[in-house]
Amino acid sequence: MQDPDVVIIGGGPAGLSAARRLAELGIRNVTVLEREAEAGGVPRHCGHLGFGWQSHRRIWSGPHFAAAMRRSVEGLDIRTGTSVLQIGEDGVLRIRDRSGLGEIAARRIMIATGTRETPRAPRFAGGSRPQGVMTTGALQQHVYLQGFRPFKAPVIVGTEWVSFSAILTCRHLGIRPVAMIEAQARTSAPWPGGPIARLIYGVPVLLNSRILEIRGKQQVEAVAIQSDGQRRELACDGVIFTGQFVPERAVFAEGPTIFTAGNVNAPLKTSGQCWHEGRAVAENIARSLA
Residue by residue, pLDDT tens for the chain (290 residues) are 468 999 999 999 999 999 999 999 999 999 999 999 999 999 999 988 899 999 999 999 999 999 999 999 999 999 999 999 999 988 899 999 999 999 999 999 999 999 999 999 999 999 999 999 999 999 999 999 899 999 999 999 999 999 999 999 999 999 999 999 999 999 999 888 888 888 888 999 999 999 999 999 999 999 999 998 899 999 999 999 999 999 999 999 999 999 999 999 988 899 999 999 999 999 999 999 99
3-state secondary structure of 6: strand
Predicted local distance difference test score (pLDDT) of residue 245: 94
Indicate the fold that domain 6-116+246-289 takes in CATH. Answer: FAD/NAD(P)-binding domain (3.50.50)
Alpha helices in the chain (DSSP H): 13-24, 53-56, 62-72, 136-140, 161-172, 193-195, 271-289
Portions of the chain given CATH number 3.50.50.60: 6-116+246-289, 121-241
CA–CA dist 196, 203 (Å, integer):
9
CA–CA dist 45, 136 (Å, integer):
10
Predicted local distance difference test score (pLDDT) of residue 3: 86
Predicted local distance difference test score (pLDDT) of residue 2: 63
Predicted local distance difference test score (pLDDT) of residue 1: 44
Q: Supply the CATH classification number for the domain 121-241.
A: 3.50.50.60
Contact 116, 245 (CB under 8 A): yes
pTM of the full structure: 0.89
Residues 6 or more apart whose Cβ sits within 8 Å of residue 276: 17, 54, 55
- The torsion defined by the Cα of 76, 79, 85 and 89, in degrees rounded to 10, comes to -20
